[in-house]
């Protein structure tokens, strides 16, 4: 178990982490998600022992490691840019840490062979120079180099972000399988929310060095705790006051007028007007634009002056609409995400 306890990290005058606390459970695949510059790498580097906090503590299994040298923390790290030794072969790169630890040659050979096969590197690739490998293969080498040391904790700082989309998708699945197989507590850093959602047991969303929310992907997505999380994750519509008032007029509804309100684009149901819509709140609108994407169709629907984006996933029996259609836009009240207004309304 990893605990960040009231960590403060400064770079000169700038405070990157003002008061960072977080707890990560044994065996968990935990992701730090947030925009560029929010402090994700800083948090990882502090845990790894590369960055010293001004105050606060880092605990691993209840033991204070804040002032322990980096190489004694049992932590493996994989970076975005692979950080391999370019003049060494793949085998030498993977074996490097074991050599430094003065393990016997037979043991090194066997551990390198075993881990290479785990990350799908072929014996022939082991004897190539790292520069001869593709980006995806190089990242497998970096992962093997970290795993061969049998770390208790694996830190992955945007390991897939230099790779093309297809390769990223494949490696995502392989990485997650490796993590589960080895049961290593892993902290993954990304600003790709799709990656975060599909891989993680839990996610912490960071904003300007602060934790906005910690939760399962589903909690983060469906019950976003703050306006920042709500708008950072997924695609949302901000609802105008007129629409919110209509929704809030449903008897017994939890929707309240006067609050900052959002709805995710795929949570709307598009249907003909006058059709029954069990459990949904309904707004009348007119289709203004239709964009076909294959696995979904995206509609722009004008609702009481609100230009709503509605994403309808492909379904064999889904109704289709054309520009000018008068439609009803339904939404379950629990899918209307509401927050206190953070800015006061300026009136003329």
Ligand X SMILES: Nc1ncnc2c1ncn2[C@@H]1O[C@H](COP(=O)(O)OP(=O)(O)OP(=O)(O)O)[C@@H](O)[C@H]1O
Residues that bind Mg ion (CB under 5 A): 41
Size of the site for ligand X (CB under 6 A): 12
Residue facing Mg ion at closest CB distance: 41
38 lies in the binding site for ligand X (CB under 6 A): yes
54 lies in the binding site for ligand X (CB under 6 A): no
Q: Which of 29, 30, 41, 306 binds ligand X (CB under 6 A)?
A: 41
Question: Which residue's CB is nearer to ligand X, number 209 or number 285?
Answer: 209
Assigned token pair, 69: 């040298």
| DSSP-derived secondary structure for 206-241 | EETTEEEEEE-HHHHHHS-SSHHHHHHSS-EEEPPH
46 lies in the binding site for ligand X (CB under 6 A): no
40 lies in the binding site for ligand X (CB under 6 A): yes
37 lies in the binding site for ligand X (CB under 6 A): yes
Question: Which residue's CB is nearer to ligand X, number 37 or number 307?
Answer: 37
Q: Please, what's the b/e burial string for 146-167 (b: 16 or more CB within 10 A of its CB; e: otherwise)?
A: bbbbebebbbbbbbbebbeeeb
Q: Which of 13, 36, 305, 317 binds ligand X (CB under 6 A)?
A: 36
Least separation in angstroms between CB 242 and ligand X: 38
Least separation in angstroms between CB 50 and Mg ion: 12
| Host H or E run for residue 94 | helix 90-100
95 lies in the binding site for ligand X (CB under 6 A): no
**Could you tell me which stretch among 34-42, 68-76, 127-135, 337-345 binds ligand X (CB under 6 A)?**
34-42
Say if CB 68 and CB 59 are below 8 A apart: no
13 lies in the binding site for ligand X (CB under 6 A): no
Query: How far is it between the farthest Cα atoms of the chain?
Result: 79
Question: Which residue's CB is nearer to Mg ion, number 41 or number 137?
Answer: 41
CA distances from 196 to 70, 171, 299 (A): 26, 14, 27
CA distances from 201 to 24, 175, 176 (A): 10, 14, 11
Question: Which residue's CB is nearer to ligand X, number 130 or number 163?
Answer: 163
- Phi-psi region at 166: left, alpha or beta (left = phi > 0; alpha = psi -120 to 50): alpha
Closest CA to 31 of 251, 201, 209, 149: 201
Say if CB 33 and CB 193 are below 8 A apart: yes
Q: Which of 111, 191, 202, 264 binds ligand X (CB under 6 A)?
A: 191
Q: Which of ligand X, Mg ion, none is residue 16 near (CB under 5 to 8 Å by kind)?
A: ligand X
Say if CB 159 and CB 80 are below 8 A apart: yes
- Give contact residues for ligand X (rule: CB under 6 A): 11, 14, 16, 34, 36-42, 191
């Amino acid at each position: 178990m990893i605990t960040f306890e009231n960590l403060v990290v400064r770079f000169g005058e700038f405070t990157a982490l003002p008061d960072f606390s977080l707890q990560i459970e044994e065996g968990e695949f935990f992701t730090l998600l947030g925009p560029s510059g929010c402090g994700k790498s800083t948090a990882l580097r502090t845990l790894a022992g590369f960055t010293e906090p001004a105050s606060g503590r880092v605990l691993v299994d209840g033991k204070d490691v804040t002032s322990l040298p980096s190489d004694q923390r049992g932590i493996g790290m994989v970076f975005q840019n692979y950080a391999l030794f370019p003049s060494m072969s793949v085998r030498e790169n993977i074996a490097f840490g074991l050599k430094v630890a003065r393990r016997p040659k037979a043991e090194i050979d066997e551990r390198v062979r075993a881990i290479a096969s785990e990350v799908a590197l072929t014996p022939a690739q082991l004897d190539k120079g790292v520069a001869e490998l593709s980006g995806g293969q190089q990242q497998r080498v970096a992962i093997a180099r970290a795993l061969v040391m049998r770390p208790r904790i694996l830190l992955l700082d945007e390991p897939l972000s230099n790779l093309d989309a297809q390769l990223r998708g494949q490696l995502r699945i392989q990485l997650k399988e490796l993590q589960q197989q080895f049961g290593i507590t892993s902290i993954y850093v990304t600003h790709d929310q799709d990656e975060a959602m599909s891989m993680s047991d839990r996610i912490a969303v960071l904003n300007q060095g602060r934790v906005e929310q910690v939760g399962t992907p589903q909690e983060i997505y469906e019950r976003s705790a703050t306006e920042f999380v709500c708008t950072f994750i997924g695609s949302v519509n901000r609802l105008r006051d007129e629409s919110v008032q209509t929704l809030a007029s449903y008897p017994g509804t939890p929707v309240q007028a006067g609050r900052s309100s959002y709805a995710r684009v795929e949570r709307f149901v598009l249907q003909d007007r006058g059709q029954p819509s069990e459990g949904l709140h309904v707004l009348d609108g007119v289709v203004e634009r239709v964009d076909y994407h294959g696995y979904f169709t995206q509609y722009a629907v004008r609702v009481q002056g609100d230009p709503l984006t509605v994403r309808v996933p492909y379904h064999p029996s889904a109704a289709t609409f054309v520009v000018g259609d008068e439609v009803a836009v339904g939404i379950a009240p629990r899918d209307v995400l509401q927050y206190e207004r953070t800015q006061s309304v300026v009136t003329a």
